[in-house]
Amino acid sequence: MSDQINSAIDFYERHPISADIILGRLRAARGHLDAVRPDELFAHDQDHYGALAANDALAVRATIGKNSRVADFCAGLGGPARYLAYRYGADVTGIELTPARVRGAQQLTALVGLQDRVRVVEGNVMQVPLADASVAAVVSQEALLHVPDKARVLAEAFRILKPGGRLAFTDWVSHRSLSSRDKELMWDGMAVSTLYDPHAYADLIGAAGFVVLSVEDLTAEWGVILKERLAMYNKLRGEAQQAGTPAGHDAFYESYVRFVALVSAAELGGCRFTAEKPR
């Protein structure tokens, strides 16, 4: 399991989207970094499929509102956490494994003055540093695919949620078993640890004690989004190389090209899951 965790850290340490890249794009757009508003970051800091609309979809399903206490599992650079705080008035704690992304999230959050409502802390979602029954919602976006033991993550979400609290997240799913070559490629390039088909994933959520409220297949929608993201990554890679910042690695780009093809063929895809902890 430690090898899988280290591979996920290594993947994100070398990811082509970084705080430095975001700050560079923001500086290029406005000329300086003085008095930056949170909404000025949103065009640059949403590293997930579907941009702001995806955040809104999770917020609605998780019934996030003013002063809702929210945990964001695998929070990355904190873009969704800042959005939920700014748009909905939530109080968000992000749990993020990769030290460089924790530092980047803290830097970006302080830049826009949201540090009183958003904190991204270094931690493992299989052992969340939050108290029992302490949050009203747990969210996550396209990140649990890196986690070797999803059952432990779901148990942790159940533990920290208050009775009646909501779990709402998106993740990769496997509609058909991958070949050995594709499994190896996804592991080497994007640290993909475990994948389930939608029904098995829903069963796993139920086994953690949740009542599953909805399972939404996003595969067709992701097919369009991922082609656009592949073009974006190619562009970002060039920008990162020019800036002398981490630009990802060759295996990532090879695996991402294959990932786009697999989603287009509906062999891989994505789902949005919503569940509730019984009262």
Average pLDDT over residues 125-152: 97
CA angle 135, 74, 172 (to 5 degrees): 110
Give me the CATH code for the 2-172+197-218+271-276 domain, please: 3.40.50.150
pTM across the whole model: 0.92
Confidence band of 242 (pLDDT split at 50, 70, 90): confident
The dihedral over CA atoms of 208, 209, 214, 217, expressed in degrees to the nearest 10, equals: 10
How many whole angstroms separate alpha carbon 181 and alpha carbon 185? 6
Backbone angles phi, psi at 99, to 5 degrees: -55, -40
Whether 11 shows a pLDDT value over 80: the answer reads no
In this predicted structure, what is the pLDDT of residue 49? 94
Query: Alpha-carbon Rg of the chain, whole angstroms?
Result: 18
Mind listing the pLDDT tens digit for each residue in 86-133?
Answer: 999 999 999 999 999 999 999 999 999 999 999 999 999 999 999 999
